[in-house]
Amino acid sequence: MTAPSTDTTRPNGRRDRIRTALRIFVVAAWVTGIWLLILTGRMILDYIFHVEMPSWANLIGQLHGLFYMCYLMATMNLGIKARWEPVRWLTTALAGTIPFMSFWIEHKRRREVTTAFDL
């Protein structure tokens, strides 16, 4: 009989996948947060100060929506690999809809994941 093989690359492979997912999440959180701030500024100018917006300003909301979907996919990717509980998923996903919150949640989740997986 042959001895069972011990796959020592699997734990390191999981850490590498989590590290990659974390990098994607960090970039997605920052891009989403920046576009949300741009959208917030545009809405303040339009609805509070009644500044006439050029036609291209309507694209700001659409771009934020596109980047928010990427943020949700990055959150799901990291959440699956890090095995988050549903409350953590939900709070992380909602952070992309509140100005400045995506930056804070990104910092918090990055610290949690790097500590938990020794990255």
The 10s digit of each residue's pLDDT in 42-86 is 999 999 999 999 999 999 999 999 999 999 999 999 999 999 999
**pTM here?**
0.85
CB 34 within 8 A of CB 96: no
Distance CA 39, CA 114 (A): 31
State residue 2's pLDDT score.
Answer: 59
Higher pLDDT, 3 or 49: 49
- Which of helix, strand or coil describes residue 3? coil
